[in-house]
Chains A and B, each alone.
Chain A
């Protein structure tokens, strides 16, 4: 019989109580683990959102609404100002144009139609130049588009209206990036070379090229000017692929607005500097002149997720604290109950450290059982808790980031409150895949630490008093 064997034996001395203690501990520890998993799941989500936004800031004219206009156009001088802001590593000017199919435009004019077509109000503004092209859009107007067209059309002519496609976006870019600052994925052919020189080369989205039967080397026209397809790109979205990219000066010339930019893509040198650079950029450009945004309304989504993350972290700490408190009180109670036994051990020559060790080991046995049972509980509970915490928020996120193609709308793996195996593997993955497994180690270590102290302190305090006082006790 060793100290360890004695401690294990003592842990099971009162089986009913041991079961009760382990059950309560398991609930607290299980909750703590589930909260940790939830915390990390949300953390991963936040990181994913941040990574999707990356280090890119978008500068639009203050109050600008894209093609709807609004605000004063941005200028090359402002691009220079932006370049000078600390931590800004690149500024890419963007000039957006809208292309309408030349034949459709002619037919519309012949039909006596006035006003904006295609349900896309072009009501003037800095970069709202609408030009004609030989290209046909790869995207159909769809139910919504046709309904809008009908509503806008002159009464009585709807029946004769040809089926029209949506406009095509032509973007002048100062570097080989798309309008969100992401590098263009060129699938065929080459880029445009110098993006800051006029050129008759253009890049076409794969679906747009396909729709118009164009390949690398083919030609098409914009405003009667012939352009050669230098390369094809795949933006990954239908909307993104219904686009043409030309060099910035080309677009500015086409629009007749040299030196004006519809937006700027500002790249910050690192994720940590994004926040500061964004503020500095806004300051440098002036709030009345430019709006600096990070992604599209992602910040609200991120901040709401962040608050969930904080709440789950607090819940983790609280549940862990509860577990610690339970084991602390149990050990205080156990030591009180066995005062006499401590006196006997002392009387027959047990050193204080042996007595302390015996109770610490007993507490650790209880904590270990509680943790093991808690892990099982967490395996059952965490998937439900985590998905409940995230799904409500991802709905907002997805809505707020239309067109950005958020990876995995209901992101967190694990498919809802699955069985214990799904739960267990999810617990394992999220714990092992988490950026900081030391948190869980620290948490469990904290419970064991509290158990150790909770056992040691009362045991040693009891061991220190004269044996006869405890022996006479009862």
Chain B
């Protein structure tokens, strides 16, 4: 369960103040697959970074299972990012001189998982996102954008987070792989009761989610999802 209350994030650029996140409030039940759509520059990434504790709101609060992020000390926020959140960045943000498998193992290393166990899990995750085994040990800067995207998704899944925040995860993927990623995310919601919030321009993806939000000039509104079948299957 994630509760967002009156969240505001302002930036001062010169003498102007911009509000990419302006009084946003919503709640997501555990296991919901939700999407956020909106024009470029509407504040989607900003909102996601607030939910992932990568940034601090100007005002308002995010509560995860009743615990407010605003009240957490830095060490607890680190733990929150490590254990509870899986973040897929718009620009992937992988470590370029490490191999695909090493990148996926990183969050598990920070969580203190043993080396053999994390190597095995990393390889499984890379197979799930359909990265061919020959490329598991390849350095990130020798992988294509689509391949990097899949490594980034695998890394987000590493510590079995309760909440996955994905910023345009299918943006760099061909239709087929994109569809597969959507299947994977839906399956996670179903089987592991993972909450997923995905920012997307992809109509197909947006229509497969349980709930859909639109962000416009910092204001969040919920839209009905056309594909009722998927929505009905999800707990509300």
Interface residues of A (CB under 8 A from B): 1-3, 6, 9-10, 13, 340-341, 343-352, 354, 464, 466-469, 471
Are B97 and A348 interface neighbours, CB within 8 A? no
**Interface-side segment among B64-72, B75-83, B142-150:** B75-83
* Given A343-B93, A466-B56, 19 extra CB contacts under 8 A: A1-B98, A1-B102, A2-B109, A3-B109, A10-B97, A344-B93, A345-B95, A345-B106, A347-B52, A347-B54, A347-B89, A347-B93, A348-B81, A348-B107, A349-B82, A349-B85, A351-B75, A351-B78, A464-B74
Are A471 and B109 interface neighbours, CB within 8 A? no
Please, which residues of chain B bring their CB within 8 A of the CB of A340?
93
The answer to whether B49 has its CB under 8 Å from any CB of chain A is yes
Q: Nearest residue in B to A338 (C-beta to C-beta)?
A: B95
Are B98 and A471 interface neighbours, CB within 8 A? no
Are A347 and B75 interface neighbours, CB within 8 A? no
* Cα of A341 to Cα of B56 in the assembled complex, Å: 20
Please, which residues of chain A bring their CB within 8 A of the CB of B109?
1-3
Instruction: Pick from B74, B78, B97: contact of A349, CB below 8 A.
Output: B78
**With A341-B95, A351-B110, A471-B89 in contact, do A346 and B81 touch (Cβ < 8 Å)?**
yes
**With A10-B97, A344-B93 in contact, do A349 and B54 touch (Cβ < 8 Å)?**
no
Q: Nearest residue in B to A9 (C-beta to C-beta)?
A: B97
Please, which residues of chain A bring their CB within 8 A of the CB of B52?
347
**With A1-B105, A347-B93 in contact, do A6 and B98 touch (Cβ < 8 Å)?**
yes
CB-defined A-B contacts under 8 Å, sample of 13: A1-B98, A1-B102, A1-B106, A348-B81, A348-B107, A349-B81, A350-B78, A350-B82, A466-B56, A468-B54, A469-B55, A471-B89, A471-B93
Interface size for chain B: under 10, 10 to 19, 20 to 34, or 35 or more residues? 20 to 34
* Cα of A1 to Cα of B97 in the assembled complex, Å: 12
Q: Nearest residue in B to A354 (C-beta to C-beta)?
A: B110
With both chains docked as a complex, state the minimum distance between the C-beta of A357 and any C-beta of chain B, in angstroms.
12
Instruction: Pick from A341, A349, A466, A467: contact of B110, CB below 8 A.
Output: A349
Are B115 and A2 interface neighbours, CB within 8 A? yes
The answer to whether B159 has its CB under 8 Å from any CB of chain A is yes
The answer to whether B132 has its CB under 8 Å from any CB of chain A is no
Are A349 and B107 interface neighbours, CB within 8 A? yes
With both chains docked as a complex, state the minimum distance between the C-beta of B43 and any C-beta of chain A, in angstroms.
13
* Cα of A319 to Cα of B205 in the assembled complex, Å: 63
Q: Per DSSP, are chain A's interface residues mostly helix, strand or loop, or mixed?
A: helix
With both chains docked as a complex, state the minimum distance between the C-beta of A439 and any C-beta of chain B, in angstroms.
39
- Mark B78-117 against chain A: 1 for CB-CB distance below 8 A, else 0: 1101110101010001110110001001110111000100
Please, which residues of chain A bring their CB within 8 A of the CB of B208?
none
Instruction: Pick from A10, A349, A466: contact of B79, CB below 8 A.
Output: A349
The answer to whether B136 has its CB under 8 Å from any CB of chain A is no
* Cα of A340 to Cα of B94 in the assembled complex, Å: 10
Please, which residues of chain A bring their CB within 8 A of the CB of B55?
466-469
Most buried by A among B52, B97, B111, B115: B97
Which 7 residue pairs are nearest across A and B when measured between Cβ atoms? A349-B82, A468-B55, A468-B54, A1-B102, A467-B54, A349-B81, A344-B93
Are A348 and B111 interface neighbours, CB within 8 A? no
* Cα of A10 to Cα of B159 in the assembled complex, Å: 25
* Cα of A474 to Cα of B24 in the assembled complex, Å: 28
- Mark B101-143 against chain A: 1 for CB-CB distance below 8 A, else 0: 0100111011100010000000000000000000000000000
Instruction: Pick from B78, B89, B94, B105: contact of A346, CB below 8 A.
Output: B78
With both chains docked as a complex, state the minimum distance between the C-beta of B58 and any C-beta of chain A, in angstroms.
13
Are A347 and B97 interface neighbours, CB within 8 A? no
With both chains docked as a complex, state the minimum distance between the C-beta of B21 and any C-beta of chain A, in angstroms.
12
The answer to whether B44 has its CB under 8 Å from any CB of chain A is no
Instruction: Pick from B49, B56, B75, B82: contact of A348, CB below 8 A.
Output: B82
Most buried by B among A1, A3, A340: A1
The answer to whether B212 has its CB under 8 Å from any CB of chain A is no
With both chains docked as a complex, state the minimum distance between the C-beta of B115 and any C-beta of chain A, in angstroms.
7
